[in-house]
């Protein structure tokens, strides 16, 4: 069960148990972040769909694992027109690492999102990134963690899946919100999720559609429903990452 007493898929329960065990750092990180808003505006100005391309070596819902050098994948995604990169740093279930994130951030000139299951303030300090994911469902003190992330210079991306979580994110002051089409309780993906939540998001919030985007039709559907940017993982990691990103950024 999560903090709201709702059932979670066993894989997600295991991810959270590992996240609770993972140590933070005692040394506070300070980030000089590259602006996601500027990167998105640049993409729109030259006619690219703003895509956050995700480096996800494996996951509980993926068969197999990609062992390419993460910096090669990152450079390939940027060559395909990615506006930003999302890098899994969760080691036990996604094959990610903070070392890979550091190397990627040094290798590319686009903003990099740290994708992990952050539950407490000290876990913010493990590694610097431009953006950082906070999952509303799993964070008890969302306003506190959001503020702590901003104080360090991160641009926090607050992920929601329901209207209740959206209201929590807005009340906490989030101005960059991702709607995850994947239900982390059941691990089912449904693009209707974004379509049902997007109309309730104020215009001054930057809105990202996450998960389950696998085709040009999906891109157009999420953009029509109000997505300012799209976060795409599996459909990019499966095959040639440059070609895959280009297909989505030119959709």
Binding stretches for ligand LARABZUK (CB under 6 A)? 11-12, 54, 56, 59-61, 180, 182, 184, 187, 210-213, 231-235
Backbone torsions φ then ψ of 24, nearest 5 degrees? -95, -160
Q: Which of 115, 165, 195, 244 is catalytic?
A: 115
Q: Which is nearer to ligand LARABZUK, 9 or 33 (CB)?
A: 9
Determine whether 115 is an active site residue: yes
Q: Which of 56, 86, 129, 181 is catalytic?
A: 56
Q: How far apart are CA 150 and CA 82, in angstroms?
A: 24
Determine whether 25 is an active site residue: no
Q: Which is nearer to ligand LARABZUK, 184 or 245 (CB)?
A: 184
Determine whether 180 is an active site residue: yes
Alpha helices of 46-122 — where are they, by DSSP H?
70-79, 91-94, 98-107
Q: Which residue is nearest to ligand LARABZUK (CB)?
A: 233
Q: How far is the CB of 32 from ligand LARABZUK (least distance, A)?
A: 26
Using the CB atoms, write b or e for 153-183: b if 16+ within 10 Å.
ebbbbbbbbbeebbebbbebebebbbbbbbb
Q: Which of 86, 129, 180, 244 is catalytic?
A: 180
Residues 6+ apart with CB under 8 A from 69: none
Q: Which is nearer to ligand LARABZUK, 77 or 235 (CB)?
A: 235
Determine whether 195 is an active site residue: no
Determine whether 159 is an active site residue: yes
What single-letter DSSP state applies at residue 35?
Answer: P
What is the dihedral sign for C-alpha 42, 88, 174, 159?
positive
Catalytic residues: 54, 56, 115, 159, 180, 210-211
């Amino acid at each position: 069960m999560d903090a709201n007493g709702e059932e979670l898929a066993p894989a997600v329960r295991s991810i959270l148990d590992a996240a609770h065990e993972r140590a933070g750092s005692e040394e506070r990180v300070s980030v000089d972040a590259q602006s996601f808003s500027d990167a998105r505006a640049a993409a729109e100005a030259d006619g690219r769909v703003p895509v956050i391309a995700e480096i996800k070596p494996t996951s509980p819902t993926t068969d197999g694992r990609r062992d390419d050098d993460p910096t090669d994948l990152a450079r390939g995604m940027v060559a395909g027109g990615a506006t930003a990169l999302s890098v899994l740093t969760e080691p036990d279930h996604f094959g990610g690492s903070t070392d890979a994130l550091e190397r990627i951030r040094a290798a590319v000139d686009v903003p990099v999102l740290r994708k992990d299951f952050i539950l407490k303030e000290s876990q913010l300090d493990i590694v610097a990134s431009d953006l950082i994911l906070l999952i509303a469902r799993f964070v008890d003190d969302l306003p506190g963690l959001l503020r702590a992330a901003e104080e360090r210079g991160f641009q926090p991306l607050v992920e929601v899946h329901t209207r209740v979580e959206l209201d929590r994110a807005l009340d906490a002051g989030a101005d960059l919100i991702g709607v995850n089409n994947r239900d982390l309780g059941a691990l089912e993906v449904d693009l209707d999720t974004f379509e049902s939540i997007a109309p309730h998001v104020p215009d001054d919030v930057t809105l990202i559609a996450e998960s389950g985007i696998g085709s040009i039709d999906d891109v157009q559907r999420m953009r029509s429903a109000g997505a300012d940017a799209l976060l795409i993982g599996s459909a990019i990691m499966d095959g040639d990452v440059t070609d895959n990103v280009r297909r989505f950024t030119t959709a």
